[in-house]
Structure 1
Amino acid sequence: MVTNPVYPGLRTVQVMRYVMPLREGGSLPALADADDGFSYVLKFKGAGQREKALIAELLGGEIARLLGFNVPELVFTYLDEAFGKSEGDEEIQDLLKGSQGLNLGLHFLSKALTFDPGAGKVDELLASKIVWLDAFITNVDRTFRNTNLLIWNRELWLIDHGASFLFHHSWDNWEKHAISPFPMIKDHVLLPQATRLDDADQEFRSKLNQDVIRTIVQLIPEEWILASRDVEEAEDGRLVYEKFLTMRLENSEVFVKGAKDARETLI
């Protein structure tokens, strides 16, 4: 296993074998084996939203973990130049070629089941906490069509936060985005059960602060930030993420009210 002195806080593993694509994901994630003996769901920087999806996955997942949610371990995954050359599928081969270097992986939860909102009910406080999280990080991808929730060992697990942080796809008016409601919360799969949003807000505001946010933001690899050429220095990019999250936390009543208003239209 490759050690990672540059990015403390996450392990780095070498990808050894591409097992199979997971085609239910639009960005062609894949199941792969690594040199630590474990299997991971790989998210590739050569896919769709490129490094920005990896940044969102990293920040969203680690914020969720800090808040106490079950989230598969995130690791940096390294693909060397030779990896994937024997892959027969040209689309996958192009994806792997465009993803050489540092990517992101989620520990594979073997035999996990996709959460079925029609068959299972989530505790109202837990539902409220998940809705709060997704409104906070502006995650559009936790809907009835695609819940991004798994049941593993009889517990609910959160996956796939790559569609979060909508502001970073344009970087314009990020301050406005930070203090705005999140209208797309109306489509959230757990919104009907989220009756305790004020309780969730109180708990999470006590757990999050600027120092905690800064620690998580510092995990973002420099090369991922600079790849989009939105900023000239990686620290400038990290500072925007830090300020966005800090301002959003300080104004959480805005997106909490938005979620409450959206829920009122459902009942």
Structure 2
Amino acid sequence: MALITKFTVKHLLGLGTKTVQTVATRSAHKKGETQSNSYIIIRPDKHNYSEIVDVMYDSYFRDEPIVRCLGVGKMPNSVLEEEIVRELSQGLSLIAKCKYDGCIVGGAINCGACPWDPDVMDKFACTLSNQKMRQLFQFWAYIQRAPNLWNLTCTRKIFEISHLFVLPDERNKGLASQLIKKSIETGADCGFTCIRVDASTAKTAKICEKIGMKLVYEIPYCSYLGTNQRPVIEPHPTETSVKTYVTTPHFPKKK
């Protein structure tokens, strides 16, 4: 099965026959090799943005509970794409590339968030004519605002790991964990005193707990109601809430 099943025309023109060869190449090198030896994790350049968005359509938007429930993760979605590029443009994100074919197999879309950002997102949501997209951005604003982390951590800017994605065939190999750890290092190196993950899936929450992040807030999906007093987000029963985890890399951990 192909690892990347969808490309835009410009990617097909740019990669040519290399795309057909990458699956066999990667498979040949994976046997007996650890994840850390197979991939490199780097900051993306602007020329990577289109490929990142395409990979996210294949590996993130179709599976992420909130986007999937609202049915807004199908290509093309210009509003969603522009939001991802906006966050990428901050220069804090990371991608994982296969060493042998250079294809992107995962990534962490990271950004700095200020106390007024939820209000900005709410105002932007009000300008959207598509109801489902409006609900998506309103829920994102609600998640960002609810824990009140700026006051709790006494900081004006928090490092957010906004979106975490790994191609289906590359999952369960520790790559998501490595992306979070490398993102925490990136945030610390850039001077952030608080790193945040809003885990919308049980699997992401489990990774955050495993690497020692602290659970500070939880929003059950059933508690976020629309004007009709029904839950706006009703994902698969295995996904019950968004959990906010933090770590403070510049402060020593209590023993």
Structure number with higher helix proportion: 2
TM-score by length of 1: 0.29
